[in-house]
């Protein structure tokens, strides 16, 4: 096994754009939930061969809401059941206002060596509009506190294309984020996911989607500023200083096996089997033996499509030599028009997006898929 993902599906409040599985109810359930996670660890650890892990990712939800004794308990059990590589990347997601010197002191007693914080923007009005519970100053202080505590592998998330966000506002967000001395930046274009409050507002005409030209200008600015700051654009939405890319997320894009534990978590055996735990905390806690889940056996076509979709998002691109001969021919024939108009290029036998191609990556990916 390469990677372990632990899902902590609790949030203090729901952000209006979020469609991740989490709940604001049941914080009293946390202790029982952690016990259920530990039970699933025992049950599932043979899903993927081997118990050595190179990366661990505690995601959510808001893992920083978990009381520190529970986080310690979770890591004790993880270390008992798995062999964590000495140089493993161990990430926790955190909300900036949870990141206090006291919390960091407790965190120092765990193997965590990387933190990913949802800054989203440094515009306090927009943060409030999004339903975030932190403000911009708290993000700045959280980054400072991490560095003072010796936790320097810091990633921030930003969102662009927010309703009412101007180019100047975005410039401020990117410049401020980069000035904080972080090592990794993820930047996502706002998407209106079905079932979210934001999507309802869009349909009611209460908000408008960002102008395409403005979003493009914001993204170009992001690429240029991160490049000037020495960051490598290693995936469509991800930028890192050399050697500081997310090894865990890169594993997803490279198709390596991972074990996902918790309500709503997914696993992949690196071959043909995907397992998805049902997003239902109560059923997850109540399960006596097996946790409710669905198993998918990937067909040749699904494997090909996933290969295209994940690899093309990365700077490395699609390694043509790893495709079956007929799949490679199919892929290249579908790529031809995009190679001609320079949205794709081939480098060292890898099919990659050009900078122009990044803007229409979704269309290109769907053209190359079967
Ligand atoms: S804190 Fe994160 S997981 Fe929770 S609602 Fe907001 S975006 Fe979603």
- The SS3 call for residue 127 is helix
Say what the pLDDT of residue 7 is.
Answer: 97
Say what the pLDDT of residue 264 is.
Answer: 95
What number does the ligand 1 atom closest to the CA of 95 have? 1
Is the C-beta atom of 96 inside 6 A of ligand 1?
no
Token pair belonging to 322: 């790893």
| CB 167, CB 214: distance < 8 Å | yes
How far, in Å, CA of 129 to CA of 127, rounded? 5
Q: How confident is the model at residue 1 (pLDDT cuts 50, 70, 90)?
A: low
The CA 129 to ligand 1 mean position distance, Å, reads 14
How far, in Å, CA of 63 to CA of 370, rounded? 38
Tens digits of per-residue pLDDT, 212-266? 999 999 999 999 999 999 999 999 999 999 999 999 999 999 999 999 999 999 9
What number does the ligand 1 atom closest to the CA of 93 have? 2
Neighbours of 19 (CB within 10 A): 14
Say what the pLDDT of residue 51 is.
Answer: 72
Q: Which of 7, 9, 11 to mutate to test the pocket of ligand 1 (most atoms within 8 A of CB)?
A: 11
- Average pLDDT of 326-354? 96
Is the C-beta atom of 165 inside 6 A of ligand 1?
no
Domain boundaries, the chain: 3-252, 300-370
How far, in Å, CA of 366 to CA of 332, rounded? 14
Say what the pLDDT of residue 174 is.
Answer: 98
Q: Which fold has domain 3-252?
A: pyruvate-formate lyase- activating enzyme (3.80.30)
Residue with tokens 């101007």: 166
Residue 200 or residue 287, greater confidence: 200
Helix 212-228 with 167-179: angle, nearest 10 deg: 20
**Cα atoms in the Cβ-side hemisphere of radius 13 Å centred on 238:** 18
Say what the pLDDT of residue 290 is.
Answer: 80
- Average pLDDT of 117-121? 98
The CA 185 to ligand 1 mean position distance, Å, reads 18
Say what the pLDDT of residue 6 is.
Answer: 97
| CB 309, CB 369: distance < 8 Å | yes
Q: Which of 8, 62, 199 to mutate to test the pocket of ligand 1 (most atoms within 8 A of CB)?
A: 62
Angle (CA) 156-305-314 rounded to 5° is 35
- pLDDT above 70 coverage of the chain, percent: 99
How far, in Å, CA of 88 to CA of 79, rounded? 12
Say what the pLDDT of residue 23 is.
Answer: 87
Burial group, residue 301, by CB count within 10 angstroms (0-12, 13-18, 19+): exposed
How far, in Å, CA of 178 to CA of 136, rounded? 14
> What is this structure's pTM?
0.95
- pLDDT above 90 coverage of the chain, percent: 92
Is the C-beta atom of 61 inside 6 A of ligand 1?
yes
Say what the pLDDT of residue 21 is.
Answer: 87
- Average pLDDT of 273-300? 91
Tens digits of per-residue pLDDT, 62-117? 999 999 999 999 999 999 999 999 999 999 999 999 999 999 999 999 999 999 99
Burial group, residue 51, by CB count within 10 angstroms (0-12, 13-18, 19+): middle
DSSP 60-82: ES-GGGS-HHHHHHHHHHHHHHS
197 phi-psi bin (left φ>0, alpha ψ -120 to 50, beta other): alpha
Tens digits of per-residue pLDDT, 143-182? 999 999 999 999 999 999 999 999 999 999 999 999 999 9
Residue whose CA is closest, atom 2 of ligand 1?
61
How far, in Å, CA of 284 to CA of 21, rounded? 13
What number does the ligand 1 atom closest to the CA of 131 have? 6
DSSP 160-215: ES-TT--HHHHHHHHHHHHHTT-SEEEEEE----TTSHHHHHHHTTSS-PPPHHHH
Q: Which of 118, 126, 132, 134 to mutate to test the pocket of ligand 1 (most atoms within 8 A of CB)?
A: 118
Q: Which residues pair with 273 in a beta bridge?
A: 297
Q: How confident is the model at residue 28 (pLDDT cuts 50, 70, 90)?
A: confident
How far, in Å, CA of 114 to CA of 89, rounded? 7
Neighbours of 261 (CB within 10 A): 25
312-326 burial, b if ≥16 CB within 10 A, otherwise e?
A: bbbebbbebeebeee
The CA 14 to ligand 1 mean position distance, Å, reads 6
Is the C-beta atom of 260 inside 6 A of ligand 1?
no
- The SS3 call for residue 311 is helix
Say what the pLDDT of residue 88 is.
Answer: 97
DSSP 211-253: PHHHHHHHHHHHHHHHHHTT-EEEETTEEESTT-S-HHHHHHH
């Amino acid at each position: 096994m390469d990677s372990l993902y632990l899902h902590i599906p609790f949030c203090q409040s729901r952000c209006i754009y979020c469609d991740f599985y989490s709940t604001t109810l049941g914080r009293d359930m946390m202790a029982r939930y952690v016990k259920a996670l530990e039970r699933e660890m025992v049950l599932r650890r043979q899903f993927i061969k081997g118990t050595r892990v190179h990366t661990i990712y505690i995601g959510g939800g808001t893992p920083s809401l978990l009381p520190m004794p529970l986080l310690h308990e979770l890591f004790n059990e993880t270390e008992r059941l798995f062999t964590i590589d000495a140089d493993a990347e161990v990430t926790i997601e955190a909300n900036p206002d949870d990141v206090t010197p006291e919390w960091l002191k407790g965190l120092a007693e765990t193997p965590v060596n990387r933190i990913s914080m949802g800054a989203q923007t440094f515009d306090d009005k927009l943060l409030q509009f999004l339903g975030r519970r932190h403000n911009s100053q708290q993000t700045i202080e959280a980054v400072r506190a991490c560095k003072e505590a010796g936790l320097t592998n810091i990633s921030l998330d930003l969102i662009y294309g927010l309703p009412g966000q101007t180019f100047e506002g975005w410039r401020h967000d990117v410049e401020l984020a980069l000035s904080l001395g972080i090592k990794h930046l993820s930047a996502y274009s706002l998407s209106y996911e079905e079932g979210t409050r934001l999507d309802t507002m869009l349909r009611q005409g209460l908000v408008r989607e960002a102008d395409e030209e403005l979003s493009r200008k914001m993204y170009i600015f992001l690429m240029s500023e991160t490049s000037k700051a020495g960051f490598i654009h290693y995936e469509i939405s991800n930028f890192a200083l050399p050697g500081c890319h997310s090894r865990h997320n890169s594993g997803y894009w490279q198709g390596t096996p991972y074990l996902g534990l918790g309500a709503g978590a997914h696993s992949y055996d690196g071959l043909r089997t995907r397992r998805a735990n049902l997003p239902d905390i109560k059923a997850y806690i109540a399960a006596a033996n097996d946790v409710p889940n669905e198993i998918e056996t990937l067909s040749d076509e699904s494997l090909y499509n996933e290969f295209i979709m994940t690899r093309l998002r990365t700077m490395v691109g699609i390694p043509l030599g790893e495709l079956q001969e007929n799949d490679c021919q199919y892929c290249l024939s579908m790529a031809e028009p995009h190679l001609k108009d320079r949205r794709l290029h081939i480098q060292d036998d890898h099919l990659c997006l050009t900078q122009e191609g990044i803007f229409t990556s979704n269309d290109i990916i769907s053209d190359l898929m079967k």
